[in-house]
């Protein structure tokens, strides 16, 4: 098997981008997807279409998985478990840390090695200089395939625990979805008041640059220091109430700011009214 060859299983937008990037870099690429037609364009560009999962696994030492979740991983790999022997599976599928660890054990029991990955860019970012992927798992496996992995993105190696990459990824995605939904809610209010998203764009970029707050809050969170010397939840609650009333007056659904307001109220009921916003970390813990 050539050092510049790889199998890509799963041809959604991310898998398509990965397989295409490998082709652009001169790799021999074998592809497999549950819907074979999704491989047509890649095959036209030079990829080999595997007829079965077994053939896809047997084609290369390095197998890249880009699937919806680990349920899909098992559904596919269980079709040819014996063909896993000797392979390195770069599992770039999103799921929980616990499932990543379970899958690593399952794959190891069948003679292969899993390296878990959490890609930090959308499909158009694959192959660009700034792209990074969280990786965890056996370091020697990552080093053995570093050149091939770096065709896709840079490597942010977190350690041997196969669940770490999934954990870091999910923490980031937690913030990603929360932040973007907040942006969209704000734009709904803007549109309701005749302000276009493009018109508001420079203000949105400035507002959503949280670097100052992240750098200010991080050491305080680690020190369990939630003193309200700069901000406090009582002031924050009043601010969110204004947001809620503005949204409702604009004819925009207020459930998102209402949910945040509920968090603030719970924190204040727990005697955190004079504490910083960071005291919400205590409220979030079950």
pLDDT per residue as tens digits for the range 178-237: 999 999 999 999 999 999 999 999 999 999 999 999 999 999 999 999 999 999 999 999
Q: Going by C-beta distance under 8 Å and a sequence separation of 6 or more, which residues neighbour residue 113?
A: 87, 88, 89, 107, 137, 138, 141
Query: Cβ distance 134 to 158 under 8 Å?
Result: yes
Strands laid side by side in the 132-136 sheet: 48-49, 28-32, 5-9, 62-65, 88-91, 113-119, 132-136, 154-157
Q: Which of 139, 160, 181 is the last residue of a domain?
A: 160
Cα 274 from Cα 68, distance rounded (Å): 43
Residue 286 has pLDDT above 80, yes or no: no
Residue 244 has pLDDT above 80, yes or no: yes
State whether 49 and 184 are in the same domain.
no
- 142 shares a domain with 17: yes
Do 59 and 137 fall into the same domain?
Answer: yes
Of the residues 138, 160, 182, the one at which a domain ends: 160
Domain match, 156 and 45 both: yes
Q: Is the pTM of this model over 0.75?
A: yes
| Co-location of 149 and 182 in the same domain | no
Number of domains present in the structure of the chain: 2
Whole-number pLDDT of residue 3? 65
Q: Do 146 and 181 fall into the same domain? A: no
Q: Evaluate whether 49 touches 43 at the Cβ level (below 8 Å).
A: yes
Residue-wise pLDDT for 4-20, tens only, equals: 999 999 999 999 999 99
pLDDT at 200: 98
Average pLDDT of 255-281?
97
**Of 10, 23, 4, which is closest to residue 61 (Cα–Cα)?**
4
Provide mean pLDDT across the span 53-65. Answer: 98
Question: Would you say the C-alpha torsion 237, 240, 244, 245 has a positive or negative sign?
Answer: positive
CATH code of the domain containing 117: 3.40.50.720
272-286 average pLDDT score: 94
Phi, psi of 49 (to 5 degrees): -90, 120
Q: Among 135, 160, 185, give the residue marking a domain's end.
A: 160
The average pLDDT across 51-69 equals: 97
Neighbours of 21 (CB within 10 A): 20
Q: What is the pLDDT of residue 142?
A: 97
Whether residues 139 and 206 share a domain: the answer is no
Same domain, 151 and 255: no
Mean pLDDT of the chain: 97
Residue 2 confidence (pLDDT) above 70: no
pLDDT of residue 149: 98
Same domain, 24 and 151: yes
Within this chain, do residues 195 and 154 fall inside the same structural domain, yes or no?
no
Same domain, yes or no: 197 and 147: no
pLDDT one-digit tens code per residue, 152-175: 999 999 999 999 999 999 999 999
Mean pLDDT of 61-72: 97
Structural domain including 263 reads 168-284
**Is the separation of the CB atoms in 80 and 53 below 8 Å?**
yes
Question: Residue 221 belongs to a domain with what CATH number?
Answer: 1.10.1040.10
* 153 shares its domain with 225: no
pLDDT at residue 1 above 70? no
């Amino acid at each position: 098997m050539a050092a510049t060859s790889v199998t890509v299983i799963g041809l959604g937008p991310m898998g398509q981008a990965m397989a295409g990037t490998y082709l652009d870099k001169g790799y021999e690429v074998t592809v497999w997807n549950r819907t074979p037609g999704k491989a047509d364009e890649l095959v036209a560009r030079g990829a080999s279409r595997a007829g079965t999962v077994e053939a896809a696994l047997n084609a290369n030492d390095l197998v890249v998985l880009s699937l919806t979740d680990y349920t899909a991983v098992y559904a596919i790999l269980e079709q040819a478990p014996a063909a896993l022997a000797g392979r390195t599976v770069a599992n770039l599928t999103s799921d929980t840390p616990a499932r990543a660890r379970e899958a690593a054990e399952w794959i190891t029991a069948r003679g292969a090695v899993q390296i878990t990955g959490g890609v930090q860019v959308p499909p158009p970012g694959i192959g660009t200089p700034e792209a990074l992927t969280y990786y965890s798992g056996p370091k020697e496996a990552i080093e053995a395939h570093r050149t091939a992995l770096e065709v896709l993105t840079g490597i942010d190696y977190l350690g041997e625990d196969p669940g770490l990459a999934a954990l870091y990824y999910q923490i980031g995605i937690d913030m990603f979805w929360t932040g973007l939904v907040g942006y969209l809610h704000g734009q709904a209010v803007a549109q309701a008041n005749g302000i276009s998203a493009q018109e508001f764009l420079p203000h949105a970029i400035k507002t959503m640059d949280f670097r100052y707050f992240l750098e200010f809050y991080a050491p305080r969170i680690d020190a369990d220091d939630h003193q309200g010397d700069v901000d406090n939840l009582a002031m924050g609650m009043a601010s969110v109430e204004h947001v809620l009333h503005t949204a409702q007056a604009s004819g925009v659904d207020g459930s998102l700011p209402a949910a945040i307001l509920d968090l603030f109220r719970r924190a204040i009921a727990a005697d955190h009214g004079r504490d910083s916003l960071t005291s919400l970390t205590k409220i979030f813990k079950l």
